[in-house]
């Protein structure tokens, strides 16, 4: 089975002194299971102190999970026995990953809050993460970093922003255009490290051959439409090209993205 094709790109932007985005992208071939690809992208809160500490800390913890906890999960004998009796369409591994990631979100929210309280500062981060096992995926998000499906058949946002403007769109109080122009477009309803309670959202599904999944920070997606993403992602150095496009359109935030092609 062929490996996933992957790419990443990050840019500090035109006005920030520090890149508060952080990301990790890894893959492995697991005997008896197949190809596994893991990506995680975090956007440290731009208006808060030490956002780069929050994003880097969460990425480090998720990287640790991939290197230590995930291999253990694949070798658990109780899981192997269950696989013999479960439907092939019910991925027991991804169900456990969802539990692991939920626990990590709560752990890191508490750790970052305590760190901030000890130093009398506020810090926080968004997260969007994906684990692909062959053609099945699990995605998690907190905040307004996004995952997109880019396909020959359809291209769409896979995640739902935890933001004030998205809430207003859902309630019918604001249009997409009004949200893009709102001075509250960066106001989040929750983020890791700066919220009393964090409830991550999860999404699962299957990829078709030639599908691509794009993870990105809001600095990347705000000035691109989905057709531009679809048309540019297939090109060589597509992420770099799109980053330059949004900078030319006046984006000043940190800009980060990662791409996985199945």
As for how many domains the chain has, the answer is 1
Per-residue model confidence as pLDDT tens digits over 66-84: 999 999 998 875 655 555 4
What is the chain's mean pLDDT, rounded?
Answer: 92
Range of the domain at 38: 5-261
Long-range contacts of 72-76 (CB under 8 A, 24+ apart): 73/97, 73/100, 74/30, 74/33
pLDDT at 82: 55
CA atoms within 13 A on the CB side of 214: 27
Q: How high is the pLDDT of residue 153? A: 84
Instruction: Name the residue among 38, 92, 36 with its Cα closest to residue 65.
Output: 38
Instruction: Evaluate if residue 36 carries a pLDDT over 90.
Output: yes
* Residue 12: both structure tokens together: 């500090």
Q: Cβ(126)–Cβ(106) under 8 Å?
A: no
- Res. 88: pLDDT tops 90: no
Beta strand residue intervals within the chain, DSSP E? 5-11, 21-30, 34-43, 127-133, 136-142, 146-150, 155-157, 201-206, 212-216, 255-261
Structure tokens at 10: 């990050």
User: At 1, is the pLDDT very low, low, confident or very high (cuts 50, 70, 90)?
Assistant: low
Higher pLDDT, 17 or 40: 40
Angle at CA of residue 42, ends 200 and 243, nearest 5°: 130
For residue 139, the 8-state DSSP code is E
How confident is the model over 189-245, as pLDDT tens digits? 999 999 999 999 999 999 999 999 999 999 999 999 999 999 999 999 999 999 999
CATH of the domain at 182: 3.60.40.10
Q: From residue 179, give the alpha-carbon distance in Å to each of 50, 168, 169, 172, 222.
A: 27, 8, 8, 11, 10
Residue 3 confidence (pLDDT): 86
Q: What predicted TM-score, i.e. pTM, was given to this entire model?
A: 0.94
């Amino acid at each position: 089975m062929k490996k996933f094709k992957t790419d990443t790109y990050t840019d500090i932007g035109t006005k920030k002194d520090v890149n508060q985005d952080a990301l990790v992208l890894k893959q492995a071939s697991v005997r008896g299971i197949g190809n596994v690809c893991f990506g995680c992208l975090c956007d440290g809160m731009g208006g808060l102190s030490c956002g780069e500490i929050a994003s880097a800390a969460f990425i480090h913890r998720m990287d640790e999970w991939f290197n230590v906890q995930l291999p253990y999960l694949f070798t658990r004998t109780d899981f192997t026995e269950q696989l013999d009796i479960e439907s092939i369409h019910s991925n027991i591994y991804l169900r456990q990953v969802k539990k692991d990631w939920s626990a990590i979100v709560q752990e890191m929210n508490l750790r970052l809050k305590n760190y901030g309280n000890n130093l009398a500062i506020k810090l926080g981060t968004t997260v969007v993460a994906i684990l692909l096992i062959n053609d099945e995926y699990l995605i998690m998000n907190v905040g307004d970093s996004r995952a997109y499906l880019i396909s020959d058949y359809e291209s769409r946002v896979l995640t739902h922003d935890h933001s004030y403007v998205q809430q207003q769109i859902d309630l019918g109080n604001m249009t997409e255009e009004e949200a893009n122009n709102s001075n509250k477009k960066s106001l989040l309803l929750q983020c890791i490290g700066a919220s009393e309670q964090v409830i991550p959202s999860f999404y699962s599904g299957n990829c078709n051959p030639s599908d691509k999944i794009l993870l990105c920070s809001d600095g990347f997606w705000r000035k691109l439409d989905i057709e531009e993403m679809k048309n540019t992602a297939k090109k060589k150095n597509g992420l770099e090209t799109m980053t330059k496009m949004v900078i030319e359109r006046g984006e000043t935030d940190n800009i980060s993205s990662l791409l996985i092609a199945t």
